[in-house]
Structure 1
């Protein structure tokens, strides 16, 4: 069976880069006995242990469990509504009345399965660090001085480096996510790769935002940026926003940020 996925391609028009989103069919190389791709059944053996955190407002939940006897984290979140799907929502869904009062009424809407998808991310095998990362915790605002960074934060970043940044190195070395790269400037000092963040549902450009991963590998956090990095930041801004003609939020990845990888 074919899955519908989204591929991003760059088109050149008058020297400018533009992002084109198109659908293509991909046939899974790993197909089960009934003709279904094995990836469709990957969660059938997932055994829930606990809910790490649940964000009702964001319609997102983080679940700890086991998959093939390995610790795993499953992240589930509702995908955004698409304007193109509204007509089908109204014509092919069924409603169950909950309450009616004067001009107001509320219903439970049962949409066709393909319009009721849940974006799911699987982390397996998951370590204790993953479990702690996705567990709901209190937030604190800390004022960090230069001395604090050098004596506390930087040693921690360097100690945790393998866990936190391996996914970044995989992208920079083109060992992973090669097809997701929408633009690359290979310059070793001011170059970067531009690719969609994992939070994007790969369906609509309206909620697309991109992540810039820089080629200089000595930048571990925002605190490492100095005046000598201004050309790098300007290069990302100019080529990322102006040439691609997309709204963009520029960020340099901190060590403990994995972008939900």
Structure 2
């Protein structure tokens, strides 16, 4: 795979801006499309996506935040008991101001994924899954999830693994998600990735996977208590449908974190509810599982490849 060698600010300054893909005033982020030089050919450039997000204020420095960390202010307005300032913080190696994520080389699918989208709610019946969604998932080349394979094999992010259950069919790893800055506990974000390549999405879960799902819940709860002091009930587990990549994984976030659309109804399914539904399923492993029999309702963005066929299929459901 072609890779871009990004080692510091000088590398980022080679980025040539093309356009804004998304502006999120809630997350205080901008997602930009542009190009970076190809490390293997100086005459070529590769499409790149850079997401720049302001980090959270350092709560652990609350006692000195205003008196020491605020470098300068500009008065905006004053009325009665209220005053507004714009402010600038002191530069700090311990408390960076920005988190920067880079995707390079970025494919057209990446660009569409990171572009601001209008959502439509669709109902996916088992028949629509078999006719439209399953062929779409099956057509994905293995290269699309090579980065997942690298994590599972230990070739990348090995030092970040918090727990590894080694079973090839029912094992998993737990590690911090790249969306988390590893500092701000209220924004804690981990991910558990299954070892099995046969579990592509929620639809593939069966009763036989219950021990794995319960283990993810138990081990993640233990980890966040031991490492970050979060007590029982302080984290939220959910699974996306549709997911952003088709290799089964569980999102693990601080229960007070609402930083992404993906944690809202219409895409996120609580792990406890998934476990409960599987517990209610037949003890027989013959025939379709409960998640193969369900009609699932979710939001699809207009940049998603499933948008047009699934939107058109809704007309037939309403007839």
Q: Which interval holds the TM-score relative to the shorter structure?
A: 0.7 to 0.9
Task: Give the structure 2 partner of residue 141 of structure 1.
Answer: 121
Instruction: Name the stretch that deviates more: 166-175 or 94-103.
Output: 166-175
Task: Give the structure 1 partner of residue 300 of structure 2.
Answer: none
Residue from 59, 67, 90 that aligns with 1:83? 59
Instruction: Name the stretch that deviates more: 112-121 or 69-78.
Output: 112-121
Show CA shifts across 1:23-68 (max 9, x none): xxxxxxx9xxxxxx94232111111100001011221111001111
Task: Give the structure 2 partner of residue 53 of structure 1.
Answer: 22
Residue from 234, 239, 257 that aligns with 2:219? 239
Whole-Å separation in 2 of the counterparts to 1:199 and 1:142: 27
Q: How much does 1:163 deviate?
A: 4.9
2:174 is paired with a residue whose SS is strand
Q: How much does 1:166 deviate?
A: 2.0
Where does the alignment leave 5 or more consecutive residues of structure 1 unmatched?
1-29, 31-36
Describe the shift of the 1:78–1:244 C-alpha distance in structure 2 as closer, same or farther (beyond 3 A): closer
CA contact (8 A) 1:220 1:254 kept: no
Describe the shift of the 1:50–1:252 C-alpha distance in structure 2 as closer, same or farther (beyond 3 A): same
Describe the shift of the 1:58–1:204 C-alpha distance in structure 2 as closer, same or farther (beyond 3 A): closer
Task: Give the structure 2 partner of residue 43 of structure 1.
Answer: 12
Show CA shifts across 1:158-202 (max 9, x none): 212435422221111112111110111112233210001111111
More helix by share: 2
Q: How much does 1:250 deviate?
A: 3.0
Residue from 67, 87, 90 that aligns with 1:112? 90
Whole-Å separation in 1 of the counterparts to 2:153 and 2:128: 32
Whole-Å separation in 2 of the counterparts to 1:242 and 1:202: 17
Quick check: 1:221 aligned with 2:201?
yes
Show CA shifts across 1:205-259 (max 9, x none): 3321211111121000011112221121112112222465354433456675159
